[in-house]
Structure 1
Amino acid sequence: MSERGATRRRLAKAGVGAAGVLMTLESRATMSPMICKSPSGALSGGLSSHYGPAPVCNGLSPGYWKNHTGAWPCSTDTWFADVFYVSGNRRYCTVKQKNTSYLCSTMLGLLSPQRFDKYNLAMHAIATYLNIRSGKINFLSVETLLAMWYEVQTKGYYSPTVGVKWSPEQVKNYLQATHD
């Protein structure tokens, strides 16, 4: 059984709404659409009307941000734990520990795959953060992104709506689908 097939089966058990969204997210490689909706909006399947300004959907990948540091809306030396929830105290990080944990990593350092960053979730969270801050996407707020990360770190899942739980991998799939 392929990893993608196993993920789809797990999603089907999570509920029809969640499965439909994640099948869309996981089929992104073949269809290449970007998701331009908030997590709860993505679950609605486009059933609700859109009010307000049109969504801006020009998100860029972690690779782009890693290689175009001059375009960052914040410092590349920003500590990951200064933006995203991480338990512990960064002042205990030594030079030797740099980029060995979420606590002791910079945002730029986490744009390269790290052994401790399962599913590259932090990598995609950072790219999404930079996309929001730079105005490349507007359908997701920094507050929602930080809440997604916090819930995954403290509960082991993110709940975009009542009764739906996204695993860390599903959250990564959603974030990945918000950029090219």
Structure 2
Amino acid sequence: MMSGNLSAPGEPVLCAGLTPGFWKNHLRDWPEPYDPGELPLGWHPNNGQNTLVLEGGTLFNEYFTYRAGYFDDDPPASMLEVMQKEGYDDKYRLGAHAVAALLNATYFANMEGVSFGYTADEILSYWNLGHGPGGTDLESLKEFYMMLNQRGFD
């Protein structure tokens, strides 16, 4: 049992991920080319709105292909708007976790000693497949994205 390779060349790589809540509350940290949008003039946080409404921003369907029943809004929803959807509007919170996974893959792509574990292209390819690794449905895809996003980062 002691004959296994116990060597560890180089520094270990930390696997990290940040939740949709992090990305909704840290708009300045969004990696390029993604843009959460800008506050309209005169907006104030105490004006009775429950969600942050920004103008512009990267549209969800610029990166994620159309999937029947998901975000076929008119006008199209931004990535930030998708992350703010709840209940019937985002079954399983799939859209929120998909956006967070894409932001994470891009954010951690060039960070030394830290890895998200998947590239942005891989995150999008799972969306196109419609299921996570080993899964067969959209709920498995959400569980996969959520697992990656909830690993944290200190």
1:130 to 103, 106, 110: 103
Change (3 A) 1:166 1:100: closer
Q: Could you tell me the percent identity over the aligned residues? A: 28
Change (3 A) 1:169 1:104: same
What's the secondary structure of 2:149's corresponding residue? coil
Q: Deviations over 1:77-118 (max 9, x none)?
A: 000000111169xxxxxxxxxx77397110011111343321
Q: Is the 8 A contact 2:132 2:140 kept in 1?
A: no
Q: Deviations over 1:117-171 (max 9, x none)?
A: 211111001001111111164311111111111121xxxxx263xxx43321111
Change (3 A) 1:54 1:84: farther
Correspondence 1:117 to 2:90: yes
Question: Partner letter of residue 145 of structure 1?
Answer: I
1:82 to 51, 62, 85: 62
Q: Is the 8 A contact 2:132 2:141 kept in 1?
A: no
- Who is 2:117 aligned against? 139
Shift of 1:66: 0.3
Mapping of residues 29-178 of structure 1, within 5 Å: 54-73=12-31, 74-76=34-36, 77-86=57-66, 101=73, 104-114=76-86, 115-135=88-108, 137-152=115-130, 158=131, 160=133, 164-178=134-148
Change (3 A) 1:159 1:70: closer
Equivalent pairs, count: 113
Q: Is the 8 A contact 1:101 1:116 kept in 2?
A: no
What's the secondary structure of 1:108's corresponding residue? helix
Q: Is the 8 A contact 1:55 1:139 kept in 2?
A: no
Deviates more, 1:57-66 or 1:103-112: 103-112
TM-score after normalising by structure 1: 0.54
What's the secondary structure of 2:135's corresponding residue? strand
Q: Is the 8 A contact 2:17 2:116 kept in 1?
A: no
What's the secondary structure of 2:79's corresponding residue? coil
Q: What's the Cα RMSD here?
A: 3.0
More helix by percentage: 1
Shift of 1:174: 1.4
